[in-house]
Amino acid sequence: MDSDAMLYVNIDNIVKNYNFISVNSSCHPGTIFQGILGASPKNKIIKKALVQAYNTSQNMLDNDYHYFCRQLYNIIKDNDFGYNIKLYDEKRKNIDKGDDILDGETLLFKHYWKNKVIPPIKYMSLKNKTYSWGNSYIKFLDNFKMDAFGQGNYKIIDEKNIIANFGGRTHNISFNTGYTEFSSVRKDDSQIVNGNLIN
């Protein structure tokens, strides 16, 4: 997985029982996005791709940036090995906000290829904000602390997601773009709580 790609789901839900996984590029049809590759041990697709790569002239690569991506696409489409292969979908909505890697409508990855930086949640976007939580509230304080049914803390995962620990439980909290709403999934029992910005 490229270092400028962010995983949004449990990797077990991506790998499953496939012998090979990657991404069918919509931005460059007839190629594979090689920034996300998964293969079973001693995989013959990887071996065939490497043999072809070792026998590719530098001149070919200088003149065709996506040559290897197209070559791998053809190996996968041939599937001479009878493997269980999964190619996920790539969708570009906004060139500055990364490409979505999808399984149907489920976001698996975001690939921040343009700037090579996974954007963090703006710390100041949460600081001193209070949100509804059922009939109560949670408040984000200085130094990644929380007032949430007693003392708590949180850690930023990416642009819209944090992991919060409070009330003796771990919560995965996802915010909307303006940090005015969130949806939280509790780790132990998957209980979902939705909240809104109070102040």
Q: What is the pLDDT of residues 102-158, one digit of tens each?
A: 999 888 888 888 888 777 666 567 888 999 999 999 999 988 899 999 999 998 887
Instruction: Please tell me the distance from the alpha carbon of residue 76 to that of residue 33, in angstroms, as a whole number.
Output: 12
Q: What is the pLDDT of residues 8-46, one digit of tens each?
A: 778 888 999 999 999 999 989 999 998 899 999 999 999
State pTM to two decimals.
Answer: 0.62
Q: SS3 for 103?
A: strand
Burial code (b: 16+ CB inside 10 Å, e: under 16) for 61-75 equals eeeeebbbbbbbbeb
Residue found by looking up tokens 């489920």 in the block? 106
Residue 184, pLDDT > 80, answer: yes
